[in-house]
Amino acid sequence: MELSQVLKQCQHLVNPYRIQNGDGFRLEQIDPGDTLDLPTDKKGAREALEQGVEMLSELQQRLYAQNKWAVLLVFQAMDAAGKDGTIKHVMSGVNPQGCQVCSFKAPSALDLDHDYLWRANQSLPERGRIGIFNRSYYEETLVVRVHPELLAKQSLPPALLGPKLWKQRFEDIRHYEQYLNRNGVVVLKFFLHLSKKEQKRRFLQRLERPEKNWKFSAADIRERGFWEDYMQAYQEMIRETATAQAPWYVVPADHKWFTRLVVAAAVIERLDALDLRYPEVSPEAKQALARAREQLLSE
């Protein structure tokens, strides 16, 4: 298929879910079960994803060769929304040398002795690379907000606490992402939007299928009990931090094949807009290459 045609399809997949201005955004605007009425045959979806993965691989090679931009993909979601599987499938064609995944768990004692962006900042992708944050500094406006005792552990000076803290965190994150952008780090943020009903189905599968048991954790059920609080926190996070340079993609997550297609399409579309090119070889360098070739051939 022509590149321009692939890009058109990407835009069709991504446009409904890209939030560049969060004002007034409501999570209800996007249905977790949405598939844009695409045919749901698994074979078709797999083929489309394969094509996307191939394009991504080509774009990533150019990103790497050009060595100017870095790309940061942030993934946030409730448990069992498919972060791991999406990362695995979408990045399956990418050269592992050009890609780094960082999973953010509960902060260590050392992390807690620093500001919350400290650990994230150390894990940013180098130029030419794609960095993936499986969870991220956004947990600081999600789990930490839903569970105030986590904030207490951060030993912040009491004078800095209070309701304004969340507004300030959003403001700081907006500025941080702008700073990254101005330094050549392109930020894309994905919220995999799962329904509560589908989460239940997936949890039950984890309990009922022995090969999926390892994925189950009792903590996941506990967090499910805070579902409404999380949705509130996600909605506000998107309202406050969706910007033109660092948009949120609110991706329907009840159908895994669709989630993966949308994420792949979003990354392709964004990388393509960077106009990535292999570095030009100067006439002098070309002459040097020709001389090296002659030398090898005359051995």
Binding site for ligand ATP (CB under 6 A): 79, 84, 104-107, 134-135, 139-140, 143-144, 150, 217
Nearer to Mg ion, 79 or 269 (CB): 79
The Cα–Cα gap between 265 and 12 comes to 9
Nearer to ligand ATP, 133 or 248 (CB): 133
Q: Which does 107 bind (CB under 5 to 8 A by kind): ligand ATP, Mg ion, none?
A: ligand ATP
Strand-by-strand arrangement of the 18-19 sheet? 18-19, 248-252, 185-193, 70-77, 130-134, 99-103
**Shortest Å distance, C-beta 144 to ligand ATP:** 5
The Cα–Cα gap between 140 and 119 comes to 12
Contact of 245 with 93, CB cutoff 8 Å: no
Nearer to ligand ATP, 188 or 233 (CB): 233
Number of residues that bind Mg ion (CB under 5 A): 1
The Cα–Cα gap between 221 and 204 comes to 11
Nearer to Mg ion, 167 or 209 (CB): 209
Q: Pick out residues in 31-90 that bind Mg ion (CB under 5 A).
A: 79
Q: Which residue type does 95 have?
A: N
The Cα–Cα gap between 297 and 289 comes to 12
Nearer to Mg ion, 50 or 84 (CB): 84
**Shortest Å distance, C-beta 229 to ligand ATP:** 13
**Shortest Å distance, C-beta 196 to Mg ion:** 16
Q: Which does 125 bind (CB under 5 to 8 A by kind): Mg ion, ligand ATP, none?
A: none
For the chain, report the end-to-end CA distance as a whole number of angstroms.
44
Report the interface residues with Mg ion, using CB under 5 A: 79
